[in-house]
Amino acid sequence: MGEYERWEGRYAAPDYIFGRAPNYFLAACRPLLPASGKALAVADGEGRNGVWLAEQGLSTLSIDFSPTAQKKAQALAAERGVSLRFELADVHAWPYPVDAYEVVAEIFTQFSDPEQRRAKWDGMKRALKQGGLLILQGYTPKQLDYGTGGPKQLDHLYTRELLEAEFAGWRDMRIVEEELEMHEGAAHSGKSAVIGFTALKP
C-alpha cells in the first residue's frame, strides 16, 4: 500500500485521529506569532493546527495530500467559525512561493526520507519572508524506544544537530527536546520523545 492510500485509510475513521486541539508545542509558540499576516500549515491533515493559526488572526493556507483529511479540516474550521484556505498538495513537490509567509508550521511530518525532506525544507525556507517564523515539531530517535507514534526509520527523525546544521544562521533559534506523555488523539498517545524548534529566517 502506498503512503496516500495508507493516510486515506487512517483518516476514514470518524474521529479526529490527532485530535481537534492544536499541537501543544505550536500552541506554546503563541507569544511568538505576529498579530496578522499569512501562515502556511504544511501537511496539516485534519486541520487542528491550521485552524488554530487562523484563530490567531493569521490568513492561513493548510496543505496536505489527503482529501479525506481536508474534508475533516473544513468541518473543524466551520465548527470553530474560522475561515482558512485549503489546497491538496504533495509537500515534496508543491511549488512553494517565494517570500510569501510570516509563519510556516510543520508539525509531525516525518514521512519524508532525507531527500524528500530536503525538497520540503528548501520549499518551506523559500516560502518564508525574511524575519518570518518557522515552527517545527517532530520525534527524536529516542521515540523508536517508545513506539507511540511517528515513523520507524531512523533517518526520518530529527535531532538537535540536524536542526542546528540545517538552519545555521537563522535568528533567535530555540530547540526544546522533551520526553513527555502526549495525548494528541489516538494516533499520538503515550510517553513520547519529541523535539520542537523555532527560528526566524535571516
**Applying CB under 6 A, which residues contact ligand SAM?**
3, 7, 18, 23, 43-45, 48-49, 64-66, 69, 89-92, 107-109, 111
Q: Of 33 and 43, which CB lies nearer to ligand SAM in the complex structure?
A: 43
- 3 state SS of 178: strand
Q: How far apart are CA 25 and CA 19, in angstroms?
A: 14
C-beta closer to ligand SAM: residue 78 or 202: 78
Determine the residue with CB nearest ligand SAM.
45
What's the closest the beta carbon of residue 130 comes to ligand SAM, in angstroms? 25
Q: What's the Cα-to-Cα distance from 60 to each of 80, 85, 146, rounded to whole Å?
A: 14, 6, 33
Q: Are 162 and 194 in contact, with CB atoms under 8 Å apart?
A: no
**What angle separates helix 48-55 from helix 67-80, to the nearest 10 degrees?**
30
Q: Which of 110/167 has CB closer to ligand SAM? A: 110
| Residue 30 or 171 having the CB closest to ligand SAM | 30
β-strands 85-88, 59-64 pairing:
parallel
In this complex, which beta carbon is closest to ligand SAM, that of residue 49 or of residue 140? 49
Residue 114: what residue type?
P
Residue 16 CB, nearest approach to ligand SAM (Å): 8
Q: 88 CB contacts (<8 Å, ≥6 apart)?
A: 63, 64, 65, 66, 67, 70
Least Å distance, CB 27 to ligand SAM, is 12
Nearer of residues 118 and 171 to ligand SAM, judged by Cβ: 118
CB of 60 to ligand SAM, least distance (A): 13
CA distance 110 to 98: 23
Rounded to a whole number of angstroms, the minimum distance from the CB of residue 72 to ligand SAM is 10
Are β-strands 171-184 and 188-200 bridged in parallel, bridged antiparallel, or unpaired? antiparallel
Q: Report, in Å, the least distance between residue 65 CB and ligand SAM.
A: 4
